[in-house]
Amino acid sequence: MNWLGLLVLLTLAGLAEGTWDNCGGICGLRPMVYEYEYMDHDNGTTRVVGGADAKLGAWPWIVSLKHPAIPGTRHLCGGSLITAEWVLTAAHCFDPIRKIGMVYLVIGATQLTKPGHGAQLRRIKKLVRHEHYNPSDKSNDIALLQLSKPVDCNPYVQLACVADPALSLSELQNCWVAGWGATAARSQTSSDILQEAKVQLIDVQLCNSSGWYAGVVHTHNLCAGYPQGKIDTCQGDSGGPLMCQDENSDFFWIVGVTSWGRGCARVKRPGIYTSTLYFYDWILAHISPETIENAY
């Protein structure tokens, strides 16, 4: 092959990489947070309900699903960017099924009224709700949204790592929730600035015991929050991520999708999340059908 041919091939390969994998094949990293640490910026207080304002780019995979019919910031639900063209969210965000054509996604924002230059807007090309999602008991509360066009990653837009079944949850200590949902129980208004809070994973057996949720939590759920309440996700946080830092590294895994709870921040009523470990194969099968078909 002549040199010109080789050059054309290499250029095409480079372009193809730019189009298909513009997020560098990495996930769960927070470039802006590492910058803040380098600058010796204070880390914010670990003081969602009971949370604190997140810094710009703190959770670069978090997405706001918006609907024009919702008053104020139009925020409907949270979501997480798991590939350049797929967002993980909760099935109940589309309960009742809304006009999908009207829903749009804001990716890379911290403040909804000032999304900033890194933020990108997308529409939904395809909605995949879990085929066994049941609105009456919120079982299988998980959905995937294919974006109208893949995002371009930047310091404010990064992919989340989806936790696989091999991950040992009981060893994860640094877990967080984030969202634009209500900052007080019974409040209907969403927060303009993304809120974040550190939470504890609570054993599902304890969570399901009498005096707690008394058996209504499914085996494919996770519970997170505090026995004494006070810090929790709330209305509008649904669909967003429950994230834990890897034991041996800086990056974060999405271990749950915010699903429901009895009220917000109440004693012995922590938030209920759909486990991504449990639904890992379902997620993979729907975002890359070719891969799965070839695997069997």
* 238 near ligand 4AZ, rule: CB under 6 A: yes
Dist CA 21 CA 84 (whole Å)? 7
Among 85, 141, 196, 237, binds ligand 4AZ (CB under 6 A): 237
* 258 near ligand 4AZ, rule: CB under 6 A: yes
Dist CA 145 CA 120 (whole Å)? 15
| Least distance (Å) between residue 260 CB and ligand 4AZ | 5
Among 264, 277, 283, 287, binds ligand 4AZ (CB under 6 A): 264
For residue 22, give both structure tokens.
């513009």
The residues carrying an active-site annotation are 92, 141, 238
Q: Are 106 and 78 in contact (CB under 8 A)?
A: no
What is the residue-wise DSSP string for 117-143? TT-EEEEEEEEEE-TT-BTTTTBT--E
SS3 of residue 154 by DSSP: strand
Stretch that binds ligand 4AZ, among 123-131, 201-209, 241-249, 256-264 (CB under 6 A): 256-264
* 235 near ligand 4AZ, rule: CB under 6 A: yes
Comparison of 33 and 65: residue with beta carbon closer to ligand 4AZ: 65
* DSSP strands (E only) in 84-216: 86-89, 104-107, 120-129, 143-147, 161-162, 175-179, 195-202
- Interface mask (CB under 6 A) for ligand 4AZ, residues 112-131, using x and -? --------------------
Among 232, 244, 278, 283, binds ligand 4AZ (CB under 6 A): 232
* 260 near ligand 4AZ, rule: CB under 6 A: yes
* 233 near ligand 4AZ, rule: CB under 6 A: yes
Comparison of 85 and 141: residue with beta carbon closer to ligand 4AZ: 141
Stretch that binds ligand 4AZ, among 107-115, 130-138, 204-212, 235-243 (CB under 6 A): 235-243
| Least distance (Å) between residue 261 CB and ligand 4AZ | 3
Q: Is the dihedral of CA 13, 19, 24, 27 positive or negative?
A: negative
Percent helix / strand / coil, the chain, rounded to 5: 20, 30, 50
Comparison of 57 and 79: residue with beta carbon closer to ligand 4AZ: 79
Dist CA 255 CA 175 (whole Å)? 9
Dist CA 239 CA 179 (whole Å)? 9
